[in-house]
Structure 1
Amino acid sequence: MRVLIIGGTGNISTAITEQLMEQAEMEIVHYNRGNRESPDGVQTIIGDRRDFISFEQQMKTAGYFDCVIDMIGFLPDEVESAIRAFKGKVGQYIFCSTVDVYTKQADYYPIDEKHSRKALPSFAYGYNKMLCEELLLAAHDPQTFAVTIFRPAQTYGGTGFAVASLGDGTYQMKRLRQGHRIIIHGDGTSIWAACHRSDVARAFIQAIGNPRVSGKAYNVTAEEWMTYDRYWRIVAEVLGAPEPHIVHIPTDLLGSLLPNRAEWCVENFQHPNIFDNTAARNDLGFSYTIPWSQGIQAVIRLLDENGAIDCQVEQPYYDSLLEAWEEANLTMKRQMQDMDSL
């Protein structure tokens, strides 16, 4: 079987490649810019998929693939190019989308694949993925372009990553080890879950050549639901850090003060991330096997081997925000005390 992964060296696609390499009679091809080295035994076609004319010609020259797994399709014009390149020339097309296509706030929980998809234009990532899905589902044809869509939530592994309410998660790990305060949005009770890339990759592997998945979309997400506070307390425990000093700041305020740094928090993290994986379990044998404490321990071990946590550059805005929040709280307390005494 001949499988092309568009991308191939990213977070999930690294695990997909590793698992494919364990199977006999599997020819694996990566298509990417060549910035990261692919494993021995994997052919790499170097190019830029956004150079549509060149990409489509390269795919024509590459010949027939039993399966194409598109891990880096983010914009509608990229998907339109893929449809031109592969329709009638591939056995199966698997697209990596995201749970961020679903309507926020959710209509119900857990969110299944039938839930409304109304990602807002204000959140470009989820909105563009939704548009990509629409194009692919319209182009789906079991004979000429059999499409399957996957919708992961937070997926981690290798050297990445724990998701912080604000800024970079690895920097927040450094703060925890130093005993410094960390910021968590809202009151810390929003529900979050993270799935190890090995579990998510197995679903992609099980989809290859599987007739049950034609024309369908699947959630492939974690099933260990934690409050955001608990999520980060587990990180602190694994780091061997002191009991974390968590400062809760309203999500809307974070978004107003630091719109670029807090975008994902406002659009995603504040909403309960509880998804129904029943379809993936039934059709793909999907299962959540690696608990957060175990998976993040492996991530932290690799980060420490590279000195990646200790070498994080300080982010002055972080402490400035904490100081401003503390001062605002003191000011409001004084004002309320004055009013109460009248």
Structure 2
Amino acid sequence: MKVLFIGGTGLISQAASKLAVEKGIDLYLLNRGQRNDFVPDGAHVITADIRDAAATAEALKHLEFDAVVDWIAFTPDHVATDIKLFKGKTAQYIFISSASAYQKPSTQYLVTESTPLANPYWQYSRDKIACEDLLMDTYRSENFPITIVRPSYTYGDTMIPAALNSWANPWSLVDRMRKGEKIIVHGDGTSLWTMTHNTDFAKGIVGLLGNPKAIGHAFHITSDEVLDWNQITHMIGQAAGVEPNIVHISSEFITSFMPESIGGLLGDKAVSSVFDNSKIKRFVPDYIATVPFHEGIKRTINWFELRPEKCKIDQGWNDLMDRISEAHEAGRQRAKG
């Protein structure tokens, strides 16, 4: 099978790239060549910027693929470009959407692929929904061979996953834990959540590559392990060798200090998300997530500790956590009179 990944070296996709090559897939990666450390041996790299449609068309003009996966399409304009580039040049186009597109607030706790798509809190999610709508319309009207995949919170070696952490310098959370500083957990920490290791996600999506029965379908691919945010935070602390100093603060209070987090918190992580994975298991019968979070996060902590240059601290984020914690405590003291 000849497969093209647009991207292929990011947090989620790097594990899929590695597994695809291990499975004997003839893998091509189209990207800007900025993360070569995560290119697996045996993959072909095409250096191009997908946002430059003309240059990409030129780079791909002599190539056709059994499947194309776009890991970095976020808006309908991105998808429209892909349709023009790959119509007639691939037997399957896989769009990486997001499980955050599912209905918020949810009307039932168990999410299936038929759960409505509606997220009034997060533009990112609404853009993903618009991409899905365009692709489904094109599939129905022009027979463009689409498959939609919706990851939830998927992590790997390079990400320490939490509801609140620095995206640029994720080691900041562990540093804060080890110093005994307050670790903010939204609400009372009991909302349910699903963490998925990127090596598990990879098994699901690689199993969909070239599968003609998957055309026209949407799938989420997640772990079946259900945790709450208190458990998640304690497991991160345990992997780091400390007991985290947790303080519970309402999501609304947090977002009043961090309006940019409204989408990711109120529109995603503050809402319980438990997924029914029976559909992906029907289409990929050997799919099963085998990395529990307590094990996966140990791998992540170990990866960082072996690379001291990656253990950078985001002082701005750290200061913000202090301000929120201090304001919350001051409010509690005022309420006590």
TM-score range, shorter chain: over 0.9
Match of 1:318 in 2: 321
Partners in 1 of 2:231 and 2:106 — Cα distance?
22
Match of 1:14 in 2: 14
Match of 1:74 in 2: 74
Match of 1:227 in 2: 228
- When residues 143 and 84 of structure 1 are mapped into structure 2, their CA distance, relative to the original with a 3 A threshold, is closer
Contact 2:12 2:154 (8 Å CA) reproduced:
yes
Specify the code of the residue in structure 2 equivalent to 1:66.
D
Partners in 2 of 1:64 and 1:309 — Cα distance?
38
Q: How does 1:273-292 map to 2 (within 5 A)?
A: 273-285=273-285, 286-292=287-293
Contact 2:79 2:135 (8 Å CA) reproduced:
yes
Contact 1:149 1:217 (8 Å CA) reproduced:
yes
CA RMSD of aligned residues (A): 1.8
Contact 2:165 2:172 (8 Å CA) reproduced:
no
Q: CA deviation at 1:313?
A: 3.5
Q: How does 1:102-251 map to 2 (within 5 A)?
A: 102-120=102-120, 122-140=121-139, 145-165=144-164, 167-168=166-167, 169-241=170-242, 243-251=243-251
| Range that drifts further, 88-97 or 34-43 | 34-43
Partners in 2 of 1:144 and 1:207 — Cα distance?
18
Secondary structure of the corresponding residue to residue 189 of structure 1: coil
Match of 2:336 in 1: 333
Post-superposition CA distance 1:88-136 (Å, at most 9, x none): 221111111111111101121211011111122x412111111111111
Specify the code of the residue in structure 1 equivalent to 2:73.
G
Post-superposition CA distance 1:252-279 (Å, at most 9, x none): 1111222124541222111001111110
Post-superposition CA distance 1:132-170 (Å, at most 9, x none): 111111112699531111111011112213123354553
Q: CA deviation at 1:305?
A: 0.8
Partners in 2 of 1:56 and 1:119 — Cα distance?
34
Partners in 1 of 2:309 and 2:224 — Cα distance?
29
Contact 2:171 2:311 (8 Å CA) reproduced:
no
Specify the code of the residue in structure 1 equivalent to 2:139.
H
Contact 1:56 1:81 (8 Å CA) reproduced:
no
Report % sequence identity: 32
Secondary structure of the corresponding residue to residue 30 of structure 1: strand
Q: CA deviation at 1:41?
A: 2.2
TM-score by length of 2: 0.93
Q: CA deviation at 1:79?
A: 0.2
Indicate yes or no: 2:38 matched with 1:35.
Answer: no
Partners in 1 of 2:164 and 2:191 — Cα distance?
11
- When residues 62 and 10 of structure 1 are mapped into structure 2, their CA distance, relative to the original with a 3 A threshold, is farther
Post-superposition CA distance 1:186-231 (Å, at most 9, x none): 1111111111111111111111221221110011112111110111
Specify the code of the residue in structure 2 equivalent to 1:293.
H
Secondary structure of the corresponding residue to residue 11 of structure 1: coil
Match of 1:54 in 2: 55
Match of 2:93 in 1: 93
Match of 1:338 in 2: none
Partners in 1 of 2:334 and 2:56 — Cα distance?
59
Specify the code of the residue in structure 2 equivalent to 1:303.
F
Gaps of 5+ in 2: none
Specify the code of the residue in structure 2 equivalent to 1:228.
W
Partners in 2 of 1:126 and 1:313 — Cα distance?
26
Specify the code of the residue in structure 2 equivalent to 1:275.
F
| Range that drifts further, 61-70 or 157-166 | 157-166
Post-superposition CA distance 1:283-323 (Å, at most 9, x none): 11221211000111101100111126753143212212211
